[in-house]
Each structure stands twice: as structure tokens, then as C-alpha cells.
Amino acid sequence: MRKRATAKQVAEAAGVSKWTVIRAFTPGASITEESKRRVLESAARLNYTPNLLARSLATKSTGQIAVFVDDFANPQKLPFLETLTEQLQAVGRVAMLININNHFDHVHALLHADQRQVDAIILFGTAFRDETLTDRQLGNGTPPMFVLARDSQIDGVPAVVCDAELALRDIVDHLYSRGYRRPGFMSGAPALSTALRRREYFSKFWSEKGITHVEQLSAQKYSLQAGALGIRNYLSDTSGKERIDVLMCENDILALGAMDEMRGRFDLRIPEDIAVVGFDNYELGGSSAYSLTTYEQPLREMVSIIIRMIKGEVDPETVTLPGELVVRSST
Amino acid sequence: MRKRATAKQVAEAAGVSKWTVIRAFTPGASITEESKRRVLESAARLNYTPNLLARSLATKSTGQIAVFVDDFANPQKLPFLETLTEQLQAVGRVAMLININNHFDHVHALLHADQRQVDAIILFGTAFRDETLTDRQLGNGTPPMFVLARDSQIDGVPAVVCDAELALRDIVDHLYSRGYRRPGFMSGAPALSTALRRREYFSKFWSEKGITHVEQLSAQKYSLQAGALGIRNYLSDTSGKERIDVLMCENDILALGAMDEMRGRFDLRIPEDIAVVGFDNYELGGSSAYSLTTYEQPLREMVSIIIRMIKGEVDPETVTLPGELVVRSST
DNA sequence: TTGTAAGCGTTATCAC
DNA sequence: GTGATAACGCTTACAA
């Protein structure tokens, strides 16, 4: 059975009251050097550390931030999680990682996080439906929510995203200057595709260049297989001369899956037969096997801003940040 | 300001005592249907849900499991985290994701987790040094620890791992039967390499087949770049005829990095010039670009067992589980 | 079946 | 600067 020392025990050992013990552990509290020394000494001897649980109950702030994730197939989640945990911990917070896939429906997860008194909820999902969160059955007490790396369609819930308009303008400019004229766009989950707005801007900027038709491919979800299937369906149905000359995929994973399929099953050369563009700058896309042109999100800044919103240092408003085009030999 | 209804308020609204309210929310408590109905009704109206924080303080059990991660470069962490969170949540627990990289040294993280009264700690790291955790400065009250997916060198801390002996026997048998006779092994972080024991068994089984020399390559850490660098150093220093004919990498990421380098910079064919084997069965390794022979860990079972240990349903003892060889065209 | 008293380990606030 | 009182919201006895 676990047994931890409490402030009370330390107090007795040090010959002071438990409130003095608390003061010794409260930066800037008014306490004499002498008392503090004695308290810390006894504390060390008894192996005492404050119980954050009890503190949270009293202060009504847990320092715990729930992070909702629903798409573990995208390896790009990992660097985000790394940065997120790192920056949260740097300001004394900690991440509660909550899987909102399948069985764990969102409302339930929300309820659970709420019951655990988290200070905030970061929606770092991909395919979740905003509608399920819109009504927020939890009444007025719900912890503040923030959406990371996709648009928010929920009223009063701000998002921190990479600026899709800037990104797609850069991408289309690049492709146009490379001479491509028959663009295609492969989207993943329908719900997210609208939220990311990548497809929308892709079409818009092509049409500004006089190219009004963008071939639409759909992968239904975000995975290698889905990307492969998406391009396979298209290529099987379309003869060589009618094919697109460049394919933009909604993220790198789709792009990698599509590239494999194009080369492995259809013997196409990239970029000679079809060029490919992704989004995210996932590490493996940069390998010589793929050398995928892509767009990098300003991960650290995005995370940093969302944390400052949580801390209340920045007004909770949707923020879009510029990313960076990464040109490689797939275009 | 947040305001949640408390059991007391619900009690007043329902015209009962707060303990009756508790009972209505405690499965199997003795309470009349009538009381329960009235309580739940008031609770619903007031939007009441139990405060898990207060409960934890009273019960001395938080249902929170700290997961220590120090290697976010390996995408294989993601499916593990997915399974872990899924299974934890299925039994009413939740994962606290703790980054123990760089600045966040392990002892500090341990202390922090302990102060938050987590029920258990899962060490799901790669390169952490066991020594720093061995003494466990926290005294006797430390939450139980478990190591996931690598060996434990800490006294009294059990590990749940994929059986390296079985795995390497299968792998070496396979390579031998394919006719390879000049094996090389690329290891990553020195600390982990010994913990994984893959190198050790690789050499052992080759030597049982009469091949006593295994070329040792080192990548220092686990990443694409490290894998690429490791093989580059070796190939630059070794002329064609003296080269190994098969390279086993400690995990898939190293293998993918090495393959890129072998093909991109040295124009080698895989497997004709050098065959490659990885470990983990990371999804991308199965793509046609790599088609990497590898070994799959029994992820779900590993997670399941560690959770049962946490719940106390299984004795906390180190467990090794068999995985499965996945043969593809890289060998 | 239900109500009461005591306790979990802190913090906030006010006297001294 | 220090000690005391009350409170945070729940659970676990135990008594009615």
C-alpha cells in the first residue's frame, strides 16, 4: 500500500503548523528563512512532496490538458505530440492523451475529460464531426476548447492552423511555373477536406490561372492504402493521354501511397508522367525514395500559440500562420 | 468562471441527502428505484456529473497512467499509443503522455507523475538510461512501473516485450535459407541496443550456423538520417567484394534510411546486392517502394498484458511474447 | 434503505 | 510571520 508523507506530518516533524509547511513550498510566501530551512529539512527526510491532486481540488485548476486524437494513421501526429507535450510541460502543464476513435465517441470523451476537471481541451483530430461537439451537452461549465491544425466549425471554439490560402497559392504558383496544366486533387475524409480548405483553394488558384477543371480524386480516409486505392481507381478509368499531369494530395501519407501505386502498378515515372505534391513535410517524404514536394506547417509556432491561449496570454481567436513550400524532385 | 453542480446541490434539489446522490451514481449501491429516479432526474436537470478529482482524493486512486515517451522519431510509437489509449480507456483509465526528452529528465518526470498521484507509470521509451531510474529517489511510495517494448534493467520493474530470441532465430533461419552468408547488423542507440538484445541473438544464431563474423554498424540513434549515415560510412569504407550481403537493422526506420542511401547514393539493388531486414513492421515498410522484410511485434497482446498487470489481474513479472516474421522482397 | 460524522491533503482567508 | 477556521467534493465507515 502506498503511503506518502503529508504536510501535516512534516509540520509535526518540524515543530510548526501545516500551513507553514505549505508556505515553505509556495514561492514568494512570507516565511522566515529559519522556518523554511527546518521545514524543507523535515520534508526531505520524510520524502514529502505536495499532493497535486489535493491542490487541484482546492485551487480548481489541475494543469491537465486533454488532447483528443482520432487519427493515429498519420505519422505527422507524432512530431506534433512531441512539441505539444514538450511545450506543455515547460509551463507546468501535462497532456492527457485521449483517443476518440470508433467506440469512444466524442461526447463521452468530452464528458470524461470534463469530469476529470481538465483545464482545457485541444481537439487535435482529423475526421471528427464538428456537429457532435457543437451543442456541447455539458452546459456552461465545459472547459475551453481549441482546435489544432484544422479549421474549427464550432461556434466560439478557436482554431490554430496553417494558412491554407497562402499555402495553396504557393503550391499552385510553383506547379504552374513548372509547366503543369492538368491538375488533380486527391482528398481524404470528406469531413476534414472541407475543414482544411486545401481543395477549395487549390481549385481557386488554378482557375485564376485560367484552368477551370481540377480532376477530383477521393481516398475517403488518410492512409497509404487509401492513397493507393484513390489513384488506382483513377488511373484504371483514365487512358494515358487524358490523364492529369500533376496530382496534389491532401497530405503526405496519401501522396506516398499514391506514388507507390503509380510506380509499382502503373509503371509511371514521377514527375515525368505525373508529378506529385503532398502536405505536411513528413520526414519520410524527403527520403530519396520519394523526394516529395510538400508544404511544411509551422508546428512549433502553432503549438506555442495554442498554449498561450490556454494560459490566457492571448485572446482565444482563430489564428492562421504561414508555412513553407518544400520543393523536391517529385515536381 | 466555471461552475459545476455538486452532489450536495443535487441532493437539495431532489430532497435527499448527498450520500443518497452518491449512491445513485455508484453501481450496485443499495438505493430504492424511486430515490434513484429522483436523484438522476435532478442531476440531469442540474447537469451534474461526479467530480473525478474529488473522488480520486478520497479513494487514493486516480485512474491515470503516466506514459513516458522519449523517442518521437519512430512512427511505430503511434500505433502503440493508439492501442494503449484505446485499451486504457476501455477499462476506465486514461493516459498521461509525458515527454522525457532532453530537458525533462527522468527523475523530474517521475517526481511529477508521482505528485499527480498516477496509478502506474509505463516506460515506453527507447533511449532512456535505466540507471537514472534505478535508485528511484522517491522512496517507497512510488507508483508501480512497467516497461513496454524493451527489456527492463531495473530491479522489480517488469517488462512486456516481444521475444527477441524467437524473433532473431526466425530471421536468421530465413536469411540463411535464402543463401545469405555475410551478415551485418546495424544498431541504434547504444543503451537500447543492449536492452533489445536483438544484436546479441542475431550474432548467436549466425554463429550456430557456423558464421562467426557479423559486421557491426552503428547508427547511434533511431532515425532515417542515422540509418543512412550508418550505411554510408560502412559502404564508403568497404569495397564491393568484401561487403556484407545482408543487413539487419535494429528497427524499420533505420532500415528505410539505409535502403534509401544504398539505392540513392551507391546504386545498389535490394536484395540482389545487399538484402535488408528491419524490425517492427512499420506500415510504410510494406509499401512497394521498400517492401521490407521485417518482424511484427504482437502489439495488442503486449498492451493488453501490461494493462492487466496494472489492474492487478496478472502478476507483475516480465513477459515475452512471440511476434511474426513478415517476409517481403527485400530479402 | 437512508442519514450522520469523519476524513482525503490541500488552499484561501482572516486573526493574532 | 504564524496559526486557526472553513472549504474544495467526494468516499467510507457506521448508526438509525
- Between CA B220 and CA B227, with CA B226 as vertex, the angle to 5 degrees is 110
Proximity of residue B34 CB to strand C below 7 A: yes
R_g over Cα of chain A: 26
What is the edge-to-edge ordering of all strands in the sheet holding B183-187? B215-218, B183-187, B246-249, B275-277
The answer to whether the CB of A31 falls within 8 A of the CB of A40 is: no
Residues 119-178 of B with CB under 8 A from A: 138-141, 143
Domain presence at residue A280: yes
Length A19 CA → C16 C1' (Å): 15
Domain presence at residue B328: no
Domain presence at residue B55: no
Proximity of residue A48 CB to strand C below 7 A: yes
DSSP secondary-structure letter at B208? H
The Cα of A79 is separated from the nearest Cα of chain B by a number of Å equal to 6
pLDDT in tens, A150-160: 988 888 899 99
Identify any residues that bridge with A122 across adjacent strands, giving them in sequence order. A67, A146
Q: Which domain holds residue B14?
A: 7-50
Whether A85 sits inside 8 A of B99 (CB atoms) is yes
Taking 80 as the threshold, does the pLDDT of residue A229 lie above it?
Answer: yes
Over range A214-218, report the average pLDDT.
96
Same domain, B43 and B90: no
CATH code of the domain covering residue B279 = 3.40.50.2300
Whether B139 sits inside 8 A of A67 (CB atoms) is no
Same domain, A182 and A288: yes
- How far apart are alpha carbons B314 and A79 in whole angstroms? 34
End-to-end CA distance of chain A: 62
Same domain, A242 and A267: yes
Same domain, B221 and B264: yes
The answer to whether the CB of B220 falls within 8 A of the CB of B231 is: no
Same domain, B149 and B42: no
- Those residues with Cβ within 8 angstroms of residue A291's Cβ, 6 or more apart along the chain or in another chain: A285, A328, A329, A330
Same domain, A175 and A100: no
Taking 70 as the threshold, does the pLDDT of residue A104 lie above it?
Answer: no
* Closest by Cβ to A288, choosing from B50, B75, B264: B264
**pLDDT in the model for residue B133:** 67
The answer to whether the CB of B331 falls within 8 A of the CB of B275 is: yes
Same domain, A219 and A306: no
Whether B321 has its CB under 8 Å from any CB of chain A: the answer is no
Whether B75 has its CB under 8 Å from any CB of chain A: the answer is yes
Helices (H), ranges, chain A? 7-14, 18-24, 33-46, 52-59, 77-90, 106-115, 131-134, 164-177, 190-196, 198-208, 224-237, 252-264, 299-311
Burial class (CB within 10 angstroms; exposed 0-12, middle 13-18, buried 19+) of B46: middle
Domain presence at residue A56: no
Domain presence at residue B1: no
The answer to whether the CB of A275 falls within 8 A of the CB of A292 is: no
Domain presence at residue A13: yes
Residues 248-267 of A with CB under 8 A from B: 256-257, 259-261, 263-265
The dihedral sign for the CA sequence A64, A68, A73, A78: negative
- How far apart are alpha carbons B143 and A2 in whole angstroms? 8
Same domain, B127 and B37: no
Least confident of A5-9, A104-108, A245-249: A104-108
- Those residues with Cβ within 8 angstroms of residue A251's Cβ, 6 or more apart along the chain or in another chain: A74, A76, A188, A222, A278, A279, A280, A282
CA B200 to chain centre: 21
The Cα of A223 is separated from the nearest Cα of chain B by a number of Å equal to 10
Residues of chain A neighbouring B4 (CB-CB closer than 8 A): 141
Dihedral of CA atoms A105, B80, A81, B121 in degrees, nearest 10, equals 100
Q: Which residue is nearest to nucleotide C7 (CA to C1')?
A: B58
Residues of chain B neighbouring A328 (CB-CB closer than 8 A): none
Proximity of residue A31 CB to strand C below 7 A: no
Same domain, A212 and A287: yes
Length A18 CA → C4 C1' (Å): 28
Cα–Cα distances (Å) from A134 to A70, A118, B56, in that order, read: 17, 19, 30
Domain presence at residue A331: no
CA A161 to chain centre: 9
What grid cell was written down for A98?
485521449
- For chain B, count helices (H), then strands (E): 13, 12
Taking 50 as the threshold, does the pLDDT of residue A1 lie above it?
Answer: no
DSSP secondary-structure letter at B222? S
What grid cell was written down for B310?
496494472
The Cα of B53 is separated from the nearest Cα of chain A by a number of Å equal to 6
Same domain, A190 and A267: yes
Per-residue pLDDT of chain B (331 residues; tens, 9 = 90+): 346 899 999 998 898 988 999 899 988 888 888 888 999 999 998 889 999 999 999 999 999 999 999 889 889 999 999 999 999 999 999 999 999 987 667 888 888 999 999 999 999 987 776 666 665 555 566 899 999 999 888 888 999 999 999 999 999 999 999 999 999 999 998 777 677 799 999 999 999 999 999 999 999 888 888 999 999 999 999 988 899 999 999 999 999 999 999 998 999 999 999 999 999 999 999 988 899 999 999 999 999 999 999 999 999 999 999 999 999 999 9
Length A24 CA → C15 C1' (Å): 21
Same domain, A235 and A279: yes
Same domain, B193 and B271: yes
The Cα of A66 is separated from the nearest Cα of chain B by a number of Å equal to 9
Nucleotide nearest to B49 (CA to C1'): D9
Taking 90 as the threshold, does the pLDDT of residue A305 lie above it?
Answer: yes
- How far apart are alpha carbons B218 and B237 in whole angstroms? 14
DSSP secondary-structure letter at A65? E
Q: Which positions on chain D have an atom < 7 Å from some protein CB?
A: 1-5, 7-13
Tell which residue, A237, A294, A225, A224, has the closest CA to residue A266.
A237
Q: How many domains does one find in chain B?
A: 3
Taking 60 as the threshold, does the pLDDT of residue A215 lie above it?
Answer: yes
Domain presence at residue A2: no
